[in-house]
Amino acid sequence: MAHATVQGAPMTRPCPRPSAPLIVFLVLLASCYLALTRLPAAAPLATLIAPSAGHGSGHGAVDSCAGFYRGAGAAGRRAVTASVEEFGAVGDGVTSNTAAFRRAVAALEERGAGGGARLEVPAGRWLTGSFNLTSRFTLFLHHGAVILGSQDPEEWPLIAPLPSYGRGRERLGPRHISLIHGQDLNDVVITGSNGTIDGQGRMWWELWWNRTLNHTRGHLIELMNSTNVLISNVTLRNSPFWTVHPVYCRNVVIKDLTILAPLNAPNTDGIDPGLCT
Ligand SMILES: *[C@@H]1O[C@H](CO)[C@@H](O)[C@H](O)[C@H]1NC(C)=O
Ligand SMILES: *[C@@H]1O[C@H](CO)[C@@H](O)[C@H](O)[C@H]1NC(C)=O
Ligand SMILES: *[C@@H]1O[C@H](CO)[C@@H](O)[C@H](O)[C@H]1NC(C)=O
Ligand SMILES: *[C@@H]1O[C@H](CO)[C@@H](O)[C@H](O)[C@H]1NC(C)=O
Ligand SMILES: *[C@@H]1O[C@H](CO)[C@@H](O)[C@H](O)[C@H]1NC(C)=O
Ligand SMILES: *[C@@H]1O[C@H](CO)[C@@H](O)[C@H](O)[C@H]1NC(C)=O
């Protein structure tokens, strides 16, 4: 899945999947772009999806499906800003910061009511289990910031399978939640100055390889039933399973990402949009 907005992402998979989601995604991007710019429908698709081919970032309509993306969200400006350190997080790569991230999101949801909030992750190695995002919210990863996925499966709790699958994709029943998860949200931004979210997925790949996986693996980032989602300017690595999974969402822009995983890592697809409009 060599997507033009994703640089340097090794997308080779041992188990190829149909490319229908990618096509849907490209059509979605194209229709957003055309709706905005009122270009003739004959505009070459390559120019719509290749910001590195001459389009500036953050200025042109190509970056946007709505004024939203040129507003507070895209620039990461919010009424309230706080660092995850203020909530007790320790960036030593060892301390579990699950509770700190959850506290931070809950506190900022309240403090930012109305104007929204931005949670900053400074340089450091921030180990965490899964946490949820909220609406009118920016997660901002500074240069040198690395969010590390917990190696304890219980830090990736089980959630219901997607209604459209009716079961976990790899195993029956519930599935592990994604590391960074959001549901029923509006105006969610994950961005930064190329900080990293590293799922440390090897543990999950080994469970898959040695057939001891009990429940479907979690994604690195999943947004469900959400509107106005922007994911940009971060590096995503070593997802346990698919890396970015927007599903049942509206108005999603994903750009300027680096997505990395070893070539043999099973099912670490880059971007798998599902049932989005
Ligand atoms: C995160 O969201 C999921 C799905 O909405 C929910 O099942 C889970 O309890 C939430 N987790 C936390 C820590 O709030
Ligand atoms: C999707 O989210 C909206 C709120 O944003 C909520 O009203 C609606 O019930 C949700 N739909 C489903 C199927 O959960
Ligand atoms: C995001 O990445 C693009 C492409 O590398 C770059 O032009 C832009 O300045 C970056 N934005 C930020 C806020 O770092
Ligand atoms: C972001 O970081 C990744 C990993 O270090 C690197 O491969 C990529 O080139 C960087 N992107 C930018 C725009 O600097
Ligand atoms: C399977 O892989 C997991 C994760 O690395 C490991 O903990 C477990 O011992 C392995 N089980 C077998 C039967 O190899
Ligand atoms: C899978 O289930 C077995 C049996 O209940 C349990 O011993 C094992 O710890 C579970 N593995 C994971 C990764 O949760």
* Ligand 5 atom with the shortest distance to the CA of 202: 5
* Ligand 2 atom with the shortest distance to the CA of 225: 1
Sign of CA dihedral 216, 21, 235, 183: negative
pLDDT mean across residues, the chain: 78
Residue 70 vs residues 137, 192, 243: alpha-carbon distances, Å: 15, 15, 25
Across 263-267, average pLDDT:
91
Q: Confirm or reject: Cβ of 203 under 6 Å from ligand 5.
A: yes
Model confidence pLDDT, tens digit, residues 243-258: 999 999 999 999 999 9
- Looking at per-residue pLDDT, the higher value among 222 and 69 belongs to 222
Q: Give, using CA atoms, the residue closest to atom 12 of ligand 2.
A: 225
CA dihedral 49, 50, 54, 58 (to 10 degrees): 60
* Ligand 1 atom with the shortest distance to the CA of 130: 13
Q: Give, using CA atoms, the residue closest to atom 6 of ligand 1.
A: 159
Model confidence pLDDT, tens digit, residues 177-208: 999 999 999 999 999 999 999 999 999 999 99
Q: Give, using CA atoms, the residue closest to atom 3 of ligand 5.
A: 207
For the chain, which domains are there? Answer: 43-260 (2.160.20.10)
Give residue 269's pLDDT: 86
pTM: 0.80
Residues 236, 153: Cα–Cα separation, whole Å? 20
Model confidence pLDDT, tens digit, residues 87-128: 999 999 999 999 999 999 999 999 888 789 999 999 999 999
